């Protein structure tokens, strides 16, 4: 998580083009490419990730490249075709990635306030026409990326439980990123929207969004936190070292990057709840991402 917005190295450019430099052994590469979820501005994520890069290079004794792809789908494809070794997915984008690349393995999950889960927050413009969930009917509602858990899947399921079906009872609008949703709602560009509650609080605390401009409509059911994943084809000893590098990480500066207090072990089964949620919404996972 090199500032990609201003400078793209030849190695990064090759990765994005689907061509990566030849390496002697992909199971134990000299360089580890670590992708972080593009849920905010890429240059900000990369800048904030420099302590993580330094930590991993020291502990693993390997060169580390931090990558932020253009969107969730390109990150899924990069993992699918072996263009990255380690990836920090959103919960639902992980489920999508796993459906396309069964060999990837989740190994760590963020823990915040003692819990390995979080929620989606549904917000509305304070001076707009939406004051309650019922008011969403007949109006635009902003989501982030289609593969986002807390900025699409969970809030869409929340609305469905309230009898509001997307593109039938309200107009679905996708703005790509969590911060774009919060800013659009605060500015009155859309009357309401949803995003990760931890990201929303970070935006408010950082004064990037004026809390007086929005109201809270509701919170989703708990969502399993973002998983850190790795390629299953990596050598067992390298996978073990990567797991330890994250699970033993205690630096609060680095943990802040993930908006968590610590990391705990994770398994694929932890994310079955999202597969069930997709079924409720009649979403075909194989056709998403």
Q: What is the largest CA-CA distance in the chain?
A: 60
Q: What confidence score (pLDDT) does residue 6 get? A: 33
Q: Of 54, 71, 41, 48, which is closest to residue 1 (Cα–Cα)?
A: 48
Helix (H, G, I), strand (E, B) or coil at 274: helix
Q: Are residues 63 and 146 in the same domain?
A: no
Q: CA 66, 69, 75, 80: dihedral to nearest 10 degrees?
A: -70
Whether residue 260 is contained in a domain is answered as yes
**How remote is the C-alpha of 231 from its chain's centroid?**
18
In a domain, 4, yes or no: no
Closest of 237, 242, 286 to residue 265, by C-alpha: 242
Instruction: Give the bridge partners for 219, in sequence order.
Output: 121
pTM: 0.70
Which pLDDT score is estimated for 281? 81
95 and 50 in a common domain: yes
**One domain, residues 164 and 245:** no
The CATH number of residue 191's host domain is 3.40.190.10
Angle of CA points 175, 160, 269, to nearest 5°: 85
Count of CB atoms situated within 10 Å of the CB of 129: 12
The structural domain count of the chain equals: 2
Tens-of-pLDDT digits for all 289 residues of the chain?
443 333 333 344 444 444 444 445 899 999 999 999 887 788 889 999 999 999 999 999 999 999 999 888 899 999 999 999 999 998 888 999 999 999 999 999 999 888 899 899 999 999 999 999 999 999 999 999 987 889 998 999 999 989 999 999 999 999 999 999 999 999 999 999 999 998 999 999 999 999 999 999 999 988 899 999 999 999 999 999 999 999 999 999 999 888 899 999 999 999 998 888 888 788 766 666 5
Token code pair at residue 122 = 């549904």
> Domain range spanning residue 182?
120-221
Instruction: Check residue 286 and give its pLDDT.
Output: 61
Q: What is the dihedral of CA 169, 175, 181, 187, to 10 degrees?
A: -90
Give the phi and the psi of residue 180 in degrees, each rounded to 5: -65, -35
Q: Domain check: are 134 and 161 in the same one?
A: yes
Shared domain check, 144 and 180: yes
Are residues 177 and 107 both part of a single domain?
Answer: no
Torsion region of 140: left, alpha or beta (phi above 0 gives left; psi -120 to 50 gives alpha): beta
Domain identity same for 131 and 84: no
Q: Are 139 and 264 in contact (CB under 8 A)?
A: no
Residue 98 CA, distance from chain mean position: 14
Distance CA 216, CA 122 (A): 6
In a domain, 107, yes or no: yes
* Same domain assignment for residues 71 and 208: no
Domain final residue, candidates 185, 205, 221: 221
Rounded-to-integer distance, Cα 271 and Cα 245, Å = 23
The dihedrals phi and psi of 208, each to the nearest 5 degrees, come to -90, -15
Q: Which of 221, 236, 255 is the last residue of a domain?
A: 221
Q: Are strands 140-143 and 171-174 parallel, antiparallel or unpaired?
A: parallel
């Amino acid at each position: 998580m090199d500032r990609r917005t201003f400078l793209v190295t030849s190695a990064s450019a090759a990765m994005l083009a689907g061509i990566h430099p030849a390496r002697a052994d992909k199971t134990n590469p000299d360089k580890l490419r670590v992708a972080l979820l593009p849920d905010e501005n890429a240059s900000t994520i990369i800048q904030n990730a420099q302590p993580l890069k330094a930590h991993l290079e020291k502990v693993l004794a390997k060169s580390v490249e931090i990558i932020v792809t253009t969107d969730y789908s390109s990150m899924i494809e990069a993992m699918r075709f072996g263009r990255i070794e380690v990836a920090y997915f959103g919960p639902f984008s992980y489920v999508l990635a796993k459906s396309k690349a069964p060999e990837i393995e989740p190994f760590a999950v963020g823990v915040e306030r003692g819990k390995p889960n979080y929620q989606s927050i549904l917000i509305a413009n304070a001076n707009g026409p939406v004051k309650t969930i019922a008011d969403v009917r007949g109006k635009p509602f902003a989501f982030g990326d289609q593969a986002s858990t807390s900025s699409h899947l969970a809030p869409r399921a929340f609305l469905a439980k309230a009898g509001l079906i997307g593109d039938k009872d309200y107009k679905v609008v996708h703005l790509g990123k969590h911060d774009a949703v919060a800013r659009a709602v605060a500015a009155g560009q859309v009357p309401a929207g949803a995003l990760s509650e931890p990201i929303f609080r970070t935006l408010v605390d950082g004064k990037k969004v004026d809390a007086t401009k929005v109201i809270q409509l509701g919170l989703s059911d708990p969502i399993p936190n973002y998983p850190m994943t790795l390629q299953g084809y990596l050598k067992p000893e390298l996978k073990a070292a990567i797991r330890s590098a994250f699970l033993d990480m205690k630096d609060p500066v680095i943990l802040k990057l993930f908006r968590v207090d610590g990391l705990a072990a994770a398994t694929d089964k932890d994310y079955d709840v999202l597969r069930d949620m997709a079924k409720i919404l009649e979403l075909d996972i194989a056709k998403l991402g």
